[in-house]
Amino acid sequence: MGFSIGFPGFPFSTTSAGANGNKIKKIPTATGTINSDQLGITLMHEHVLNLLPPIPAGKEQETIDHAVHMLRDAERVGIDTIVDLSPVRNVKMIQAAAAQVPVNIILATGSYLQRLMPERIVKMSEKEFKDHMRLELIEGIEGTGIRPAIIKVAGNNTPLTPWEKEKFRAAAQIQKELDVPIGTHAIFNPGEQFDLLVENGANPARLFFSHIEAEFGWGGQSKEQIGKELLRIAKAGGNLLFNNFGYEFDTPWEDLVYLMRFLCDNGCEKKVMTSMDTYWQWKNGKIITNVEDRHPHTSLKTFAYAMTDAVPAMLKAGFSDKEIKQFLVHNPSRFFS
pLDDT of residue 3 exceeding 70, the answer is no
pLDDT of residue 17 exceeding 50, the answer is no
Q: How far apart are CA 206 and CA 196, in angstroms?
A: 14
pLDDT of residue 66 exceeding 50, the answer is yes
pLDDT of residue 290 exceeding 80, the answer is yes
pLDDT of residue 18 exceeding 80, the answer is no
Peptide bond into 159 cis (omega under 30): yes
What is the pLDDT, as a whole number, of residue 8? 39
HEC assignment per residue over 96-124: HHHCCCCCEEECEEECCCHHHCCHHHHCC
What SS3 state is found at 29? Answer: strand
Q: Alpha helix locations (H) across the chain?
A: 60-76, 91-98, 119-122, 126-139, 162-178, 190-199, 223-235, 253-265, 305, 311-316, 321-325, 331-336
Residues whose CB falls within 8 Å of the CB of residue 165, separated by 6 or more in sequence, listed in order: 196
What is the pLDDT, as a whole number, of residue 1? 39
Q: What is the mean pLDDT of the chain?
A: 94
pLDDT of residue 164 exceeding 80, the answer is yes
What is the pLDDT, as a whole number, of residue 120? 96
- pLDDT tens digits along 92-146: 999 999 999 999 999 999 999 999 999 999 999 999 999 999 999 999 999 999 9
**Homologous superfamily of 107-336 in CATH?**
Metal-dependent hydrolases (3.20.20.140)
What is the pLDDT, as a whole number, of residue 21? 61
Q: Name the band, by pLDDT with cuts 50, 70 and 90, for residue 332.
A: very high
Question: What are the domain boundaries of the chain?
Answer: 107-336
Q: Do the beta carbons of residue 111 and residue 152 sit within 8 Å?
A: yes
Could you tell me which residue, 20 or 84, shows the higher pLDDT?
Answer: 84
Cα separation of the two ends of the chain: 20
